[in-house]
Chain A
């Protein structure tokens, strides 16, 4: 693509200028984006002049690309004048309207932390210190190592509060391996996308174009989502818009049709599903007509969807990481979804739901942390001290992170005395104010973050400034079996990267050898050495990364070959060795063992609508990106309530009106946006607005199996302000 430069003197940009301002003065660097709290990340290639990043682009050839709006906005965030640049401690007592934060040195901050940690260990025991990582997930491995070394088993994260873990628990209980499904392959004939909007949430990672391409080559799409999302609007051949929190009934309705018409994979069902007869018996009662009454999905559409899905083998699945688990029947609702592809036999076959044959040895997702480095063994040994040990026994059996939703109660009972949080956000919790009060009442609490966020930091003792993605070395990235490093610039002010802070605390607690004398690169190398690599090798292969070859080709139907279980026996990694329609673990702990439907909260004349929060907007993640980047804030300045035009008309509500959204548990003031994106009877709002925190409308009631709150279930009403 070459062209003549513009005629004569009117050239605004000349080729010569362009060349000198770009290629010659600039240096190139690489990092990852942490904007949507995904690990692994999307790749950023950046250009810098004397340690100032001037512009960025998608890392060419990187497995996760291209960037989204939030990724591009990380440049503006980096130089935001409001960034935290120094450690700060409160000088006014807790409960004061102004915490009176003042700048202190890192030495003073570390002395304070270590002083409290040593004292509390002596007075109350190490398990009374709660370690927490919110957003970003990047520090998890280092903080896990810190918790384990200090001797506290009580580590939790946003995944174990409200995000991925309930769905993961359902997957482990049902399939014996974690999966949110797969992108369609060349073999896939039909896709079931349930409770996720990959056009916006990028799971897995801005994958929408792959779905659009699949659509163009003839793959059929069934999308289940109450809202008319862009995913539904651009892909769906059949769009089911159920009443929130009735998932298990809708799945049962589909299975009813599949069994009734004999469309299931009989051989697979008989051989590989534990409790298939009980399941068949259970779904007999869920006729399409009955399911229509429960879920508001027309019976004909349920039948169509079931036929579409079961008769086009192989079928794939993309299920939400958390969208279907925000109700009081979270775990069994999600288990019900998983049973639909299972009875069709779409498990571990090309084009279906597959499990990687050769995952990178010694590594789990960064979200879990590498078991060795994160000292998982030690955490397991201390299991009996887990705060959630008695409350969530099935969870404790499968997941090693603590479910945090009972934190308020544990603090009141005196079982927690201190809280160390990296990127933690009080607004994650239902009835946020109770958690603010509880954490405020602790003997010591600290937060590591990029910005001062009053709804969280007003209630702690110490706030530490975190280096941002352009300024971090750790962690490195891996995608499948490819490993990548980054080339950080010097952090602004006195910011330190998350790993550095965790290592420094570890060193000062008296464990220099365990924490690599505070050297972040050495800490990374301790993990990289599992594959005979060092960070230097990643630098040498900066843009392309290092590929670690698998032992062999990808294999399918691994359950027949003894490749799914640790003991090498055929079958799945569940107690029965089969996919469990009837979960033996749930049965053992007295829970409903089938993926049973449970009536959602009732709507009443006073609260006739149902509230969904937590749905994604493409340019915001949680409470980030509002104040963090004016480029993004400019796109939407106010919390917008999506409400169906008919529901709005009934209440004489127009676009842009100030309205009060209320539930039996709380209320907020927001702006109305009548739109057909909202299903009639269901309103939606993005969470994480500090001026209108929707989680104050959510009660502290939890799914008994996973402890997840009902973010997508509560009855509500909307009135003009």
Chain B
């Protein structure tokens, strides 16, 4: 069984937001819900600006799963963490449990004020986001099942992201793992999104994630 993950090369990320909107277009998430987040990080001491993309880490030991009183969150055999909207009651315990701050509750809002855009009138389950329920990145499992990469990975113009089976010794992602790091490793969740980080900026990036700022600039 594969164990899926993403590696992000921050030396290539320019903060262009394509992953954010590629995801919007693919999954049609509701207003102010961003499954991909891209933040700017400025280090005045190092005189350096970097950008980093993060999203649900699809942790191997996901605290959100344990936190849910309805047992609505589960990890598949391939390691992808999903929310069962039938069971989710929107209590929000998962939001508190997630150290990465990537879970939100779907608002009862549409982009065109009550009007559904025609492309949203679809039966595609991955494009349905019931209001009041928790919402996280699905790693585009619907695409993976068709043999495609997640929309954010495919969309990245800088090719800063690699998607693949972390356990497959022949996969391009596996080969880059030794040099990579995980953020907030001390939380013990074993996140499956890995990073190549320029210089010594990991601690500052972690602080920025914990601040959990809104993404709009």
Which chain B residues border A645 with CB–CB below 8 Å?
A: 44
Residues of A near B32 (CB, < 8 A) are: 634
**In the complex the two chains form, is A637's CB within 8 Å of B142's CB?**
no
| B15 close to A618 (CB less than 8 A) | yes
**Once the chains bind, are B84 and A10 in contact (CB under 8 Å)?**
yes
Interface size class of B (residues with CB under 8 A): 35 or more
Determine whether B200 belongs to the interface, using a CB cutoff of 8 Å to chain A: no
Stretch of A228-236, A583-591, A699-707 at the chain-chain interface: A228-236
Q: How far is the CB of B50 from chain A (nearest CB, A)?
A: 7
B49/A677 in contact, CB under 8 A: yes
Determine if A97 is an interface residue (Cβ-Cβ < 8 Å). Answer: no
Residues of B within 8 A of A228 (CB): 49
A79 to B123, CA, bound (A): 18
Q: Does B22 contact A (CB under 8 A)?
A: yes
B111 and A6 contacting across the interface, CB-CB below 8 Å: no
B77 contacts across to A, CB distance below 8 A: 4, 6-7
Q: How far is the CB of B83 from chain A (nearest CB, A)?
A: 8
Which partner residue on chain A sits nearest B163 by CB separation?
A1
Across the interface, which residues of A come within 8 angstroms of B155, CB to CB?
Answer: 58, 66-67, 72
Instruction: Report Cα–Cα, A200/B123, bound state, in Å.
Output: 35
Q: Would you call A124 an interface residue if the criterion is a C-beta within 8 Å of the partner chain's C-beta atoms?
A: no
Which one, A52, A67, A72, A618, contacts B118 given CB within 8 A?
A52
Nearest-neighbour CB distance to chain A for B21, whole angstroms, equals 4
With A208-B158, A234-B11 as known contacts, state yes or no: A75 contacts B215, CB within 8 Å: no
In this complex, the interface size class of chain A, counting residues with CB under 8 Å from chain B, is 35 or more
In the complex the two chains form, is A209's CB within 8 Å of B159's CB?
yes
Does B211 sit at the interface, judged by CB under 8 A? no
Chain A binding surface, main DSSP class: mixed
User: Contact: A54 with B215, CB < 8 Å?
Assistant: no
Contact across chains for A630 and B111 when beta carbons are under 8 A apart: yes
Q: Which residues of A contact B159 (CB under 8 A)?
A: 209, 212
A-B contact count (CB 8 A): 169
Complex Cα spacing A56 to B216, Å? 24
Q: How far is the CA of A392 from the CA of B108 in the complex (A)?
A: 58
Contact with A along B66-106 (1 / 0, CB 8 A): 00000000101110001111000000000000000000000
**A7-26, CB under 8 A of B: which get 1 and which 0?**
10010110101110110000
Closest A residue to B142 by CB, please name it: A13
Contact of B125 among A17, A75, A199 (CB under 8 A): A17
Query: Is A133 engaged at the interface, CB distance under 8 Å to the other chain?
Result: no
Does the CB pair B22–A230 fall under 8 Å?
no
Of chain A, the residue at the smallest CB distance from B118 is A52
Given the complex of chains A and B, what is the CA–CA distance between A240 and B215 in angstroms? 30
Docked-complex contact A1 and B147, CB < 8 angstroms: yes
Q: How far is the CB of B211 from chain A (nearest CB, A)?
A: 13
Interface assignment of A206: CB less than 8 Å from any CB of chain B: yes
Which B residue sits closest to A75, measured CB to CB? B25
The main secondary structure of chain B at its interface with chain A is loop
A182 within 8 A of B: no
CA distance A52 to B77 in the complex (A): 36
A69 is an interface residue with CB less than 8 A from chain B = yes
**Which residue in B115, B121, B157 is a CB contact (below 8 Å) of A66?**
B157
A80 to B16, CA, bound (A): 23
Contact yes or no, A53 B157, CB < 8 A: no
Q: Is B172 an interface residue (CB 8 A)?
A: no
Q: Which residues of B contact A13 (CB under 8 A)?
A: 125-126, 138, 141-142, 145
**Contact present for A230 and B76 (CB under 8 Å):** no
Closest to B16 in A: A618
Chain A residues contacting B215 (CB-CB under 8 Å) are 635
Q: How far is the CA of A502 from the CA of B21 in the complex (A)?
A: 34
Given contacts A18-B142, A68-B16, A208 and B157 within 8 Å (CB-CB): yes
- Nearest-CB residue, chain A, relative to B148: A1
The CA of A676 and the CA of B45, in the complex, are separated in Å by 11
Bound form: Cα–Cα A438–B121 in Å: 46
In the complex, the chain A residue whose C-beta lies closest to that of B85 is A12
Residues of A within 8 A of B217 (CB): 635-636, 640, 673
Complex alpha-carbon distance, A230 and B124, angstroms: 37
Q: A230-B14, A636-B217 are in contact. Are A54 and B24 (CB under 8 A)?
A: no
22 CB contacts below 8 A, A to B, read: A3-B1, A6-B76, A12-B83, A15-B145, A17-B125, A19-B146, A22-B124, A22-B146, A52-B119, A56-B25, A68-B18, A69-B18, A72-B155, A76-B25, A209-B157, A233-B48, A618-B18, A619-B16, A631-B111, A634-B216, A636-B216, A645-B44
The 8 closest A-B pairs by CB, nearest first: A69-B21, A230-B14, A199-B14, A618-B16, A72-B25, A630-B111, A206-B157, A72-B21
Q: A12-B85, A66-B154 are in contact. List 18 more A-B contacts (CB 8 A).
A: A4-B77, A52-B118, A52-B121, A53-B119, A54-B122, A58-B155, A67-B22, A69-B20, A69-B21, A72-B21, A75-B25, A75-B119, A208-B14, A619-B16, A630-B111, A630-B112, A631-B21, A635-B17
